[in-house]
Amino acid sequence: MTTKPSSDIKISAIVACYLDAPAVPFMYERLKAVFAKLRVQYEIIFVNDRSPDNAAEVLAELARQDKQVVVINHTRNFGSQNAFTSGMRIATGDAVVLLDGDLQDPPELIESFYQKWQEGYDIVYGIRVKRDATVFLQFAYKLFYRVFRSASYVPMPLDAGDFSLIDRRAVDALNSLPENNRFMRGLRAWIGFKQTGIPYVRPERMFGRTTNSLLKNLGWARKAIFSFSYIPLEFITFLAFFTVVVSLFATTAQIILRVIAPELVPPGFSTIIVLILFIGGIQLLCLSIIGSYLSHIYDEVKKRPPFIVDSILNRPDSAVESTNKKIHDAM
């Protein structure tokens, strides 16, 4: 929270854009209306994550008309998490607001975020009490957040996406984190600070179709769990212990049966084949879990930048270093 009068407070809205060109003008107008109502200074940072539509042209025109609109163009699609990171590294506001460009994160909720921020909360996030999705996907989303919260070594808020207001202190903390595999809502919980949530109904996408799919969502879940949980590794230990116990029990049972009732001992190679397949399946499962952690480690040790900026329009004057220089220094 800042103690400045509202007229001196500056809010940076960071909008991740991919296939959102038709929604951009509406997002811009609604954000302007919200900031005018709050009577704060603002900058709107649109991050064009190499959208294949005409987003670059639409954003360039907005930047030409309004110098408070900052446009970051990436050299390719690096994903929404890196788009938010890109915007946060040049944002100059006393707080930043993260939004998806498809208007499923209603800008009008920023007013409630702002009020909680003024009460002393460093991070205020939106809680999706309902969303536009199939019954199966709604159930899957609810299940994921509960499993993720149970598995994570950091307390995670339920049903909270990226839509949030983050105080400058927390933004600086997030920017200081060196990892490239960024799951923003997990990192947001990890850094701590005083946090609270605001419930809202997530509306349907205004234009086009969602870019998410079941496979992408499974990838998100995998990334989240392997980034913030050791439960899969602990599961290997439990599985190994369980297998050893079962094997000892089965071996003891077979020895006793051979002495007492040899006719009850399973004959032939079928038993051996089943046991080999069972043990082999467990080994492959364990290797896949270890491989997932290794892939994360491999990505991090390569020290590749999380994104590369092609161009920046209306770069804030108070942003001391260029984004590419920050990336170079991090390398």
30-44, 123-137, 266-280: least confident range: 266-280
Q: What is the pTM of this model?
A: 0.75
Question: With left for phi above 0 and alpha for psi between -120 and 50, is residue 159 left, alpha or beta?
Answer: left
- The CATH classification number of 10-212+304-330 equals 3.90.550.10
Q: Residue written as tokens 């100059």?
A: 92
d(Cα 231, Cα 282) in Å, to the nearest integer?
Answer: 16
183-194 pLDDT, tens digit per residue, is 888 888 888 899
What is the structure's pLDDT at 319?
56
DSSP assignment of 78-94: --HHHHHHHHHTT--SS
d(Cα 60, Cα 287) in Å, to the nearest integer?
Answer: 48
Which residue ranges make up each domain of the chain? 10-212+304-330, 231-301
Mean pLDDT of 49-58: 88
What are the residues facing 166 on neighbouring strands?
96, 123
d(Cα 297, Cα 187) in Å, to the nearest integer?
Answer: 17
d(Cα 176, Cα 80) in Å, to the nearest integer?
Answer: 19
DSSP assignment of 4-50: S-GGG-EEEEEEEESS-GGGHHHHHHHHHHHHHHHT-EEEEEEEE--
Q: Residue written as tokens 């179709």?
A: 209
221-260 pLDDT, tens digit per residue, is 777 776 777 777 777 777 777 777 777 777 677 677 667 7
What is the structure's pLDDT at 122?
93
